[in-house]
Structure 1
């Protein structure tokens, strides 16, 4: 664009032909004019007017060209931000032998068969239900006295203990407790005890007619207070579970209301 303007200016300057006669006449007129008078407005010479017009045209063309160039080109747009490149998510490859988190190895164990129990644990209810149902040994009551007999749960296949619980609601002035353990083979006395004071009773143990008899007799002048008391006989026996069907007990008591007698049997161990 600047080269085009320069070229046109040169061509205009070369084509211009100044009017020399007119220029000389103007100079002579100014020389002979009176010193004082109205100054006439300055009239630009044709050559100067052409030069000024050329320079003005060149300036307008240059300014317009630059403006057009700026309008056409316009401000450079700001650089567009580049979106960050995110690598695609990949699932970790499980190592051999590992388990995914969504699944877990089954920990269910086969249910134990009925009637069996792990070492050191109590047998299940189904196993204990195999014991025979007690047919005897229920509670017996008569007046102010009641009694209940059963084989102790700690009995073994070699040794047993027969327990008799005695309940009293009135003081007893006389009491005799007798346990009869059937001789089923190798039955031998190993001891006895009671929860009442030992000095209050005379105790005997003897075998008679195939029965081992334990007897506690309250000494004269002693009394049995109201409450729950216990008597026990201990003995060895032939190997095996103790059968209590032939074992019995007898209680004879005296209170202010009269004499009371109870008879019963021993339930198997629970």
Structure 2
């Protein structure tokens, strides 16, 4: 799964970078999303693979907090990127005449920079405040990686401030991006449904609607997979006390979406499939 995740997302990055016709805001955000998927997978899976090989599931306190910090950082960044991609599609479909002026390179770079800074600041703040916690003995975390919320639950000292900060961060990084995504796609659907027929041609109207919906289909699939699996893990943790089931659920939201994203986008996007074919044709000449 790790090899498929890394290779699939790196292929997306290479295809977008090498294809000049893909140098658009939509694919710029997709390229950054693929890179983020590689990073978040590389934060958790290699340590797990080493633990499986050595049969040693221990991790140091510093290593655990560092892993939790990177997971928070890249998960927050993925939230922001999905919201930015939804906004890009909103502008493209609801304000097509102003799209080039609104989604200019400066705004795209600013959105990426702002997402990186906000995600990093949130991850550092939550991780640094966890340093004040004390633990009674060697403890088990019912995940295959260190999740900050689970670490806080195992502390012997007062965790009120830490829990409040975690809830606020979850509200900000969960509520704000999701609200933006819902707002964008609600207006997109409403705008597409209001597309008038061209000279009374129902066929042309249907084709125009189908094209508009197809541009958002891949992103909606990624959003559903990411948030759906994340919601599922927290629901499962609330209704079950089984460490095994919680570990399986954590895999579903921290590994599976990152692995499937390249397939979802490359299979649904005609431009991406063309770029991957051209990239495949260049490989023998490069070798």
Q: Does TM-score exceed 0.5, indicating one fold?
A: no
RCO higher in structure (CA 8 A, sep ≥6): 2
More strand by share: 1
More helix by share: 2
Larger radius of gyration: 1
TM-score range for the pair, normalised by the shorter chain length: under 0.3
| Length-normalised TM-score, structure 2 | 0.19
| Length-normalised TM-score, structure 1 | 0.20
